[in-house]
Structure 1
């Protein structure tokens, strides 16, 4: 559902002319009677995203992918894995905060006031409250080790996406924004989970190595005791013969 042009809670429609692409959108030019495949619909939705948000959005997804341990190791810098993972965690936290700030900006630019009615004012206040929640929720994640923090950030990114999808269905966000968010959220979450998987595998390998080392030590002690027992038995037998 699209936003109502007369609603003070939908300030983005006043900027539609500046934000929308100058060319006729692909979706408008397409024949509505012609069924489109899933990939065609996704390409069409992405084509409708204004150029600057699209460029800045995908550029902003680059650190999520390039700072992953897999990429850093493949680039030949295994010693920098932990530093890059920490940088990725900090960057992810800043993005989570930014996604909340979007709602603060839209609420602040809204013309809705308490005089517009309790329902409109309540919805506006709800957006103010929600806009600061991501900033608060991300603090514990930033204090964690990247192994746990990267997973926490991925969860927060997904929660923000679900919240934005809810606001979009209510008509408070433009369609192109959610089209772009879908791609960017997928890239960001994939990057963070890649870091989580790296540390999970590393810890699993270390635990397995410790278990194997402990087993080897126990086997060595058992063998030593058996050798000592055999030597003692041999000495006792020799003494008995004498």
Structure 2
């Protein structure tokens, strides 16, 4: 009886140990298969960027981010365009001549026409002289004719500049007589005196020096007129009005100087102020000698 009981217990223990080993083997196989399946999937599946993964998991969020970024760019473009329009408006208002009386505006613009015309003619005659020097003949005029016309045109521009400078100085005399902004006496009269005192001696200078001197005079008078307008000694629109006209005159003078520089080696050099003074002295000496000779002849005839 005891032998049977012991044998039965041995059989039960053997069955339990075999079942446990089978269970452990089955569990190990399942874990190994799971690991192999996971590694195989990872090896087969391509690598995905985090941003794409986020986009795949959160398409709504990604769309909102993209919309906000594009909206920010559009806002920046709108801001830039608005800023450019604002700056253009400020520039337009700054250089506006709407407050200038129409009569003064029209006559002032007409006053710069001779400057522009003489500058354009000087540039054309310069082209003719250069063409004649290189090709033997000009487009319309010959080289000698163009050179002669250029020498006739130079004193016209310089003389007109002296007239305009004197006129700009006389404006301050009129403002003083009218008492515009108060009475300033010699301080305002001085501007009217200095302008012609500087302008008219330039008629004796060579053309290049005369034009440079008048350019500096126009610039100084503009500075003085702008200060007068800002201080209330002249109409408030007078500063911008003078700036526009001075700009046109200055550009014309610069164009003429450039044209003279281009033909400096071609055109016959004009007489300098020293040559003119020496010629005047020689002429006076010659006239005096002729007068003395006539006087001696009259004395001899009398004797």
Question: Does the 8 Å contact 1:61/1:188 carry over to 2?
Answer: yes
Aligned twin of 2:70: none
1:154 alignment partner, one of 193, 215, 222: 215
Aligned twin of 2:252: 191
Give the deviation of 1:182 after TM superposition: 1.0
Cα deviation code 1:137-167 (max 9, x no counterpart) = 1122111121221111111111100111111
Cα deviation code 1:34-54 (max 9, x no counterpart) = 9452542245x2122211111
Distance in 2 between residues matched to 1:64 and 1:131, nearest whole Å: 22
Look up the SS of the partner of 2:263 in the other structure: helix
- Alignment pair present for 1:171 and 2:223: no
Question: Does the 8 Å contact 1:65/1:71 carry over to 2?
Answer: no
Q: 1:71 to 1:173 in 2, by over 3 A?
A: farther
Specify the structure having the higher radius of gyration (Cα).
2
Distance in 1 between residues matched to 2:124 and 2:232, nearest whole Å: 39
Aligned twin of 2:204: 143
Cα deviation code 1:48-101 (max 9, x no counterpart) = 221111100010001111102114557956241221121011001100000100
Aligned twin of 2:123: 70
Distance in 1 between residues matched to 2:166 and 2:267, nearest whole Å: 34
Aligned twin of 2:171: 102
Give the deviation of 1:200 after TM superposition: 2.5
Q: 1:201 to 1:58 in 2, by over 3 A?
A: same
Q: 1:63 to 1:111 in 2, by over 3 A?
A: closer
Provide the aligned C-alpha RMSD in A.
Answer: 2.6
Distance in 1 between residues matched to 2:94 and 2:151, nearest whole Å: 36
TM-score by length of 1: 0.61
Question: Does the 8 Å contact 2:175/2:234 carry over to 1?
Answer: no
Unpaired segments ≥5 residues, structure 2: 1-84, 129-139, 269-303
Question: Does the 8 Å contact 2:180/2:234 carry over to 1?
Answer: no
Distance in 2 between residues matched to 1:191 and 1:185, nearest whole Å: 10
Q: How many residues align?
A: 165
Structure 1 runs of 4+ off > 3 angstroms?
71-77, 204-207
TM-score by length of 2: 0.49
Higher RCO structure (Cα 8 Å, ≥6 apart):
1
Aligned twin of 1:41: 93
